[in-house]
Amino acid sequence: MGPVARSLTGLALVTAALIATTSTASASESAAGPAQPNIAAAALYALSHPTASPPGSNDFSCKPTAAHPRPVVLSNGTGANAYDDWAGLSGVLKRDGYCVFAPNLGGPEGGMFQALGDIPTTAGQFGQYIDKVLAATGASTVDIVGHSQGGMMPRYYLRNLGGASKVGTLVGLAPSNHGTDLDGLVTAVRKLPGGGDFADGVVGVVCPACVQQEVGSSFITSLNGGGDTMPGVNYTVIATRTDEVVTPYTSAYLSGSKVTNLRLQDYCLLDGTEHINITYDHIAIQLVRNALDPAHAWTPNCLT
């Protein structure tokens, strides 16, 4: 079996697993789980606690301080859930003094796998959640930190759903801003006999967001057709040269007057963090903190 065939078979197995997966957890479960050192540990915990909140998050009694007046809303990537992606960063931001919120959207209620659904629909849910955060905290704007799809999806909210007036800063960790070719796998699969039907008819049904994030998709083309940014919003993109999901990794970057594009390896040449674990990388975490609070920014390195 050749590499493309193996990849296609693997994709089919993953898709089948997503179809077969059901959650026995209560949809109302929201207790905060423990901090985790990496996404593998977080995912293991989430298997039995799929609706757990990341540490320090989702306290709707939290009131922003003068030092940190904007709540931070965390947005996870495709197939992950809030706890998977944010069981490291959320506690750090809470200790910094932020009100932190992390919803599970775009997937079955109470399910392990989130952010699979149609991206515009998820963006609408995201906007409703932000309105809920603003109402509870009394803030007028939020900051957003998103991973992968979670760093790109809010741009649809900003551009198409009136969100720009409610957001101060958008920080994307390896965001799929200009789509991905998955190291050529997308093109290879679609060139196979029946590959397009498989992608659109199987993957596209189970995970519409997966197909929408393909480079050159109608969604990605429309999203970027009017320019990458919206007036009044600050954008920071944090990418890694070793990204194996958003490829080429530079497709994460944005263009605009209020954009800062960063790369982990410019702070530590030896940093081999890939797409999945970037939310747990100590350099990425500090760069997020810098973007949210530039007045107290400091430059991370391989050790700190």
- pLDDT, tens digit (0-9, with 9 covering 90-100), for 48-98: 999 999 999 999 999 999 999 999 999 999 999 999 999 999 999 999 999
Helices (H), the chain: 3-20, 39-48, 82-86, 89-96, 119-137, 149-160, 185-191, 195-198, 204-206, 208-212, 218-224, 282-292
Under 8 Å between Cβ of 33 and 45: yes
User: What is the chain's pLDDT, residue by residue, as a tens digit (304 residues)?
Assistant: 333 333 333 343 334 334 333 333 333 347 999 999 999 999 999 999 999 999 999 999 999 999 999 999 999 999 999 999 999 999 999 999 999 999 999 999 999 999 999 999 999 999 999 999 999 999 999 999 999 999 999 999 999 999 999 999 999 999 999 999 987 767 666 666 666 656 666 677 889 999 999 999 999 999 999 999 999 999 999 999 999 999 999 999 999 989 999 999 999 999 999 999 999 999 999 999 999 999 999 999 999 9
Q: What is the pLDDT at residue 191?
A: 60
- Using alpha carbons, select from 73, 206, 256 the residue that is nearest to residue 147: 73
CA 120 – CA 98 distance, rounded (Å): 28
Amino acid at the residue 123: A
Query: Measured between alpha carbons, how far is residue 246 from residues 32, 107, 127, 139 in Å?
Result: 30, 21, 25, 33
**Neighbouring residues of 153: CB distance < 8 A, sequence distance ≥ 6:** 75, 115, 119, 122, 123, 126, 146
Kindly report, residue by residue over 111-129, the tens digit of the pLDDT: 999 999 999 999 999 999 9
